[in-house]
Amino acid sequence: MDKKVKIRATLKDGVTTVKALMTHPMETGARKDKSTGELVPAEYIQEILVTHNEVVVLNANWGTGISKNPYLSFKIKGGAAGDTIALTWKDNLGETGSGETQIKQK
Amino acid sequence: MKITRRHALKLGSIGALIGTISGFAKTVFAEWPAAAFDTTAYEDSYAAVTNGVEPKEGGITIDAPEIASNGATVPVTVSTDMQDVKSISVLVENNPRPYIATFFINENIEATIATRVKMRETSNVVAIVETASGKFIAKQSVKVTAGGCA
């Protein structure tokens, strides 16, 4: 089941700023559960794909070093109000999450 | 439902579109470099990211706090004015697994990426930018007062 990604895109002075917040534990596999002393299994996002009107504009490979509940922000040259920006992630367990938004003029 | 020619065409084009999108996503999603992300020594991570191309100094701005009170979430922004940027990679020298991430961008994305990384201890944050004319590197020291389990 897809998990929701919070995503926002605002256009100002010809530049669209995209901000995305994912909900994910980003477990490295090296952390111990304090109550049981057992290692918490790795669970982290490995891949990110961002599309602008269904054209891939950014993709990323992530390791375990990205913080829990990952934040990502970047800027698109141009873009128009109403354009669709979508982000999809996939973690090491094969789980996916996605979110999309329309660019808003500021 | 009776399928008319019009319907068939419509269904066909939707199918083709879905096929293209998922096909593309699959090829992109198949490239995750496990060996590079598993490296535990900075030298190895560095070698995996630079892949034999010695990066030149400069041209990159790393915006990270000088002192981070919480190593679990250290905000890092990497930006550059260079042209034809293909990818931006982030490493943290003293982390147990120093290779953090690589962002591949197309020509419509400004070469500015902001995210949050984990840092076990005081370390240099390293950014490696690949452009059409080679690789570039910059470092910034971040002092961590309470480490995040990286």
ipTM of the complex: 0.93
Tell me: the pLDDT tens digits for A77-93?
A: 989 999 999 999 999 99
What number is the average pLDDT over the span A46-54? Answer: 95
Beta strands at B123-131 and B134-144: parallel, antiparallel or unpaired: antiparallel
Tell me: the pLDDT tens digits for A16-26?
A: 999 999 999 99
Look at residue B126 and tell me whether its pLDDT is greater than 90. Answer: yes
Please report the beta strands in B14-133, taking only residues with DSSP state E, as ranges in sequence order. 56-57, 60-63, 67-68, 74-80, 85-92, 99-105, 109-117, 123-131
Beta strands at A84-91 and A96-102: parallel, antiparallel or unpaired: antiparallel
Helices (H), B3-142: 5-29, 34-37, 42-50
What number is the average pLDDT over the span B102-116? Answer: 94
Q: Which residues of A lie closer than 8 Å to B, measured between beta carbons?
A: 15, 26, 28, 30-31, 46-47, 49, 52, 54, 56-68, 70-78, 88, 90
Taking alpha carbons only, the member of B118, B138, B11 closest to residue B78 is: B138
Look at residue B9 and tell me whether its pLDDT is greater than 60. Answer: no
Alpha-carbon distance B33 to nearest alpha carbon in chain A (angstroms): 8
Beta strands at B56-57 and B67-68: parallel, antiparallel or unpaired: unpaired
Alpha-carbon distance B137 to nearest alpha carbon in chain A (angstroms): 18
Paired tokens of B136: 């570039």
- Chain-chain contact of B21 with A90 (C-beta, under 8 angstroms): no
Tell me: the pLDDT tens digits for B47-100?
A: 999 998 999 998 999 999 999 989 999 999 999 999 999 999 999 999 999 999
Higher pLDDT: B124 or B27? It is B124
Chain A residue at shortest CA distance from B103: A60
Q: Does B142 touch chain A (CB under 8 A)?
A: no
- Chain-chain contact of B101 with A67 (C-beta, under 8 angstroms): no
Angle B63-B87-B122 from CA coordinates, rounded to 5°: 35
**Residue boundaries of the structural domains of chain A:** 3-29+39-105
Q: What CATH number should be reported for the domain whose range is A3-29+39-105? A: 2.60.40.10
What number is the average pLDDT over the span A46-75? Answer: 96
- Chain-chain contact of B148 with A67 (C-beta, under 8 angstroms): yes
What number is the average pLDDT over the span B102-131? Answer: 95
Question: What is the DSSP code (8-state) at residue A43?
Answer: B
| Burial (0-12, 13-18, 19+ Cβ within 10 Å), B121 | middle
